[in-house]
Structure 1
């Protein structure tokens, strides 16, 4: 409703914009109902939509150079969605509703006519959705779980690899105050204790899966058992 009200401003209406970019309906469901998912965090929401819009408009502009664009619209739609998915995967900004943003740029004639003007509209819609979810979700819950990454950047020392720092700890007993608790081990199962998260070394977790483990660790908190110190 807020996005629709903003889109009614004469300056925006003069560009013949739709009342709402449909993909943000799905984005709202994600950001209000699955707030613990890595896919619903601000980085994924804003960057995912923007990259998808950029990809969608760029691919559509190329196809419009062909006079038989209407006969090729189906192909443009497939390519925009596929390339947007690849772009989000490469930048670790996967946001499922953003795939529809890319698709609309090619398949919806009204959105297609917006051209590059779709990019600021997508950014504006993303910010409005994020601000609204911040106001409502934080009444009784916590959102976002993190702004850019699940790693506490303030604790990363110069020269450290951020991705490795977020998913592994040293062989010594880690401090319970740090947020980097995931440790690889040869054991048969994943264990979560008060001090660390122990992952079998034969399991290769994606960054999103490791983020979920970090979230589980933070929510379980002091109720976890402490890992016993090895005998000397």
Structure 2
């Protein structure tokens, strides 16, 4: 018996932190944004245009040998870095604010955009938004540290803090792009004279890099894999969403599924061109679209 009970006082409800499973805490910003986004319109555009926007009708392009990939990587990285640098050098506003010829993190970005083009880190959403976040946080931290003479003499701390905050924001917004960490670090340690202009420098440079990537990568390869999210943004029919009706494993017929999974395992197998589900397993139409999109992306 507690002291409160002995004195006839009501006991306060206890709050036990051990009952909270912190490993399950998760924030998915896409769950709030994606319902308001329309599906990409690329399929309705002329084929030559949609091709250079990354749209492909099934089947997807066959994998290329590494010599071909190396050739296009050479061309792409050279053109991407050159276009960004030349543009920055000929913008009077950038010159007036002492902007660098090119921010070093664009070199790392070029490696992703033309070599690892299927990586989530290389997709347009990650490549552009992350650099805007990084430059904003970096310059903000730089300006904040400049308010104190002692703090201004510790750029290593400001750089580490900017890089850490940028990384956290990228994780929360699903825009992780490793070169942006370098941008945040450089914003504090080497770009104090540029000021807020760096945000425009990074934004314009990121857009130019993406434009070159769309042109070069889609000659023989495919870029991007997705523009915003790998999950389909297509809306389910009202009847499906309102009634919550689920589709039984054997209630649909499609070329990339089969009715019976060998044996009766508790697993889902996704291969190029087919999806294997356990027998008597039911899924919704939205779930089926996600599985199909993953199957179509496999080589």
Range into which the TM-score falls when normalised by the shorter chain: 0.7 to 0.9
CA distance in 2, matches of 1:13, 1:64: 23
Q: 1:217 to 1:40 in 2, by over 3 A?
A: same
TM-score, scaled to structure 1: 0.73
The SS at the match of 2:196 is helix
Q: CA deviation at 1:86?
A: 0.1
Q: Which residue of 1 aligns with 2:296?
A: 218
Q: How does 1:136-215 map to 2 (within 5 A)?
A: 136-156=216-236, 172=249, 176=254, 187=265, 191-193=269-271, 194-196=273-275
Runs of 4+ in 1 over 2 A off after TM superposition: 154-158, 169-178, 186-191, 193-199, 213-217
1:88 aligns with 2:88: no
CA distance in 2, matches of 1:175, 1:62: 60
TM-score, scaled to structure 2: 0.57
CA distance in 2, matches of 1:146, 1:117: 29
Higher CA-based Rg: 2
Give the number of the structure with larger relative contact order, counting CA–CA contacts within 8 Å between residues 6 or more apart.
2
Gaps of 5+ in 2: 1-81, 257-263, 279-289
Gaps of 5+ in 1: 162-168, 179-185, 200-210, 222-232
The SS at the match of 1:196 is strand
Q: 1:214 to 1:59 in 2, by over 3 A?
A: farther
The SS at the match of 1:154 is coil
CA distance in 1, matches of 2:118, 2:293: 8
Q: Which residue of 1 aligns with 2:114?
A: 32
For these two proteins, the number of residue pairs brought into alignment is 193
CA distance in 2, matches of 1:104, 1:214: 42
Q: 1:187 to 1:66 in 2, by over 3 A?
A: farther
CA distance in 2, matches of 1:189, 1:15: 58
Q: CA deviation at 1:172?
A: 3.2
CA distance in 2, matches of 1:171, 1:62: 58
Q: CA deviation at 1:154?
A: 2.3
Q: CA deviation at 1:113?
A: 1.5
CA distance in 2, matches of 1:34, 1:172: 36
CA distance in 2, matches of 1:99, 1:71: 21
Q: 1:70 to 1:59 in 2, by over 3 A?
A: closer
